[in-house]
Amino acid sequence: MAEALVFHSDLDSPEPWIAALKAELPWLEIRLSNAPGDDRDVRYALVWRPPLGFFSRFPNLELVTNLGAGVDALLARPDLPEVPIARISDPEMSRMMASFVLFAVLRHARDIPAFERAQRERRWHFITPRTAGEISVGVLGLGELGSTAALELARQGFRVSGWSRSPKDLPGIACVNGMEALDGFLAANEILVVMLPLTPQTRHLLDARRLAALPRGAKLVNVARGPIIDEAALVEALRSGHVAEATLDVFETEPLPQESPLWGMDGVLITPHLASMAIPKSACAQVAANIRRIRAGEPIAQRVDAARGY
Ligand code: NAP
Ligand code: GLV
């Protein structure tokens, strides 16, 4: 029987992925989901948001790889097959995310929204710059992307602390963990960067009460998933000035609806969910390594724990 991988993405163009997969696994048939062929040949799936019912076409599936880091949408599906699931683990994706987070933190640390406001008013507005060491940045989530970003911020000299579920030891980062540490963590950081997965535990984790726990004038960066923050509560916190500025790449509803007050808010930068993406050339090595592991009867790497939600 032939052995095939099916590729489906509602976002990425398939050509670079097919070329990168073929370079890693020349013997494997790489098939687009709408291409003709015997569905029984398909043993592996590399997917981002396939349509409902997609997986039931493939009775011999052995591995699903999520074409991205966040698996919230995949795990929420009622039609998820009972096979191992991996998320993309890609060093280039981590670097792209770390550079976006650095940009966002610098935007707030170097008062860029205040200069943009002043420019609109044709006003020369001098603010004495602060050094990075005077600014505390908290990173919620110290996983693959979160820890890379936190280390990059520390390399730039910021006072960085990080929060995760289990204890962590990262050079130059003050790491704390667990719910009991969260309120103190929020209160201690002028700039908060959200890098958590969306799970039942993290949905609306940043509600009105926790946003109020941030110091007055705090700045918020969300590059993880919109529903981790109660967006209505964030709008109120921005209106009151308790949260002074925000850089938002992800939203409760995407695309962000026309009527969202966030569009028109001073100090809020909106980007359309592109802080980072999986890069075919670098990501396919991991996809291929897992396929080799499946064929050798070995456990896969970067396996998603469905019960944990990430
Ligand atoms: P990851 O490797 O799965 O790490 C998740 C981190 O969050 C871990 O440190 C984990 O703690 C922590 N965490 C999870 N649940 C928690 C809880 N209830 N309380 C405290 N800490 C908790 O994730 P990643 O690769 O760093 O990526 C993070 C997220 O970024 C993804 O899930 C995705 O949604 C998002 N993302 C967005 C973009 C974009 O373009 N905007 C691109 C890629 C990814 P432990 O270490 O203790 O397990
Ligand atoms: C993008 O949002 C991802 O989860 O990879």
CA of 120 to the centre of ligand 2 (A): 34
Model confidence pLDDT, tens digit, residues 230-253: 999 999 999 999 999 999 999 999
- What mean pLDDT, rounded, does the chain reach? 97
Distances (CA, A) of 237 to 32, 34, 184, 193: 45, 46, 19, 16
What predicted TM-score, i.e. pTM, was given to this entire model?
A: 0.98
Q: Is 273 annotated as catalytic?
A: yes
87, 145, 151, 180, best to mutate for ligand 1 pocket (most atoms within 8 Å of CB): 145
Catalytic residue among 204, 225, 295, 303: 225
Minimum CA distance residue for ligand 2 atom 1: 68
Domain layout of the chain by residue ranges: 4-90+278-296, 92-270
Ligand 1, residues at Cβ distance < 6 Å: 68-70, 97, 141-146, 164-166, 195-199, 201-202, 223-225, 249-250, 273-276, 310
Quick one: what percent of the chain has pLDDT higher than 70? 100
Architecture of domain 92-270: 3-Layer(aba) Sandwich (3.40)
CA of 3 to the centre of ligand 1 (A): 33
Model confidence pLDDT, tens digit, residues 271-304: 999 999 999 999 999 999 999 999 999 999 999 9
Model confidence pLDDT, tens digit, residues 3-23: 999 999 988 899 999 999 999
* pLDDT at 169 (0 to 100): 98
C-alpha triplet 187, 192, 197: angle, nearest 5°: 115
Model confidence pLDDT, tens digit, residues 98-115: 999 999 999 999 999 999
Strand ranges inside the chain, DSSP E: 4-9, 29-32, 42-48, 63-66, 85-87, 136-140, 159-164, 173-177, 191-194, 218-222, 243-248, 268-270
Architecture of domain 4-90+278-296: 3-Layer(aba) Sandwich (3.40)
CA of 217 to the centre of ligand 1 (A): 26
CATH fold match for the domains 4-90+278-296 and 92-270: yes
Q: Which residues on neighbouring strands pair with residue 225, listed in sequence order?
A: none
Model confidence pLDDT, tens digit, residues 118-153: 999 999 999 999 999 999 999 999 999 999 999 999
Length of the chain: 310
Contact 122, 116 (CB under 8 A): no
Tokens at 146, concatenated? 């979160």
Sheet containing 4-9, strands listed edge to edge, beginning at the edge strand earlier in sequence: 29-32, 4-9, 42-48, 63-66, 85-87
Place of tokens 């944990």: 308
Contact 108, 247 (CB under 8 A): yes
Catalytic residue among 57, 110, 204, 273: 273
* pLDDT at 1 (0 to 100): 75
Torsion of CA 207, 212, 217, 223, to 10 degrees: -20
Model confidence pLDDT, tens digit, residues 162-186: 999 999 999 999 999 999 999 999 9
Q: Is 242 annotated as catalytic?
A: no
* pLDDT at 12 (0 to 100): 86
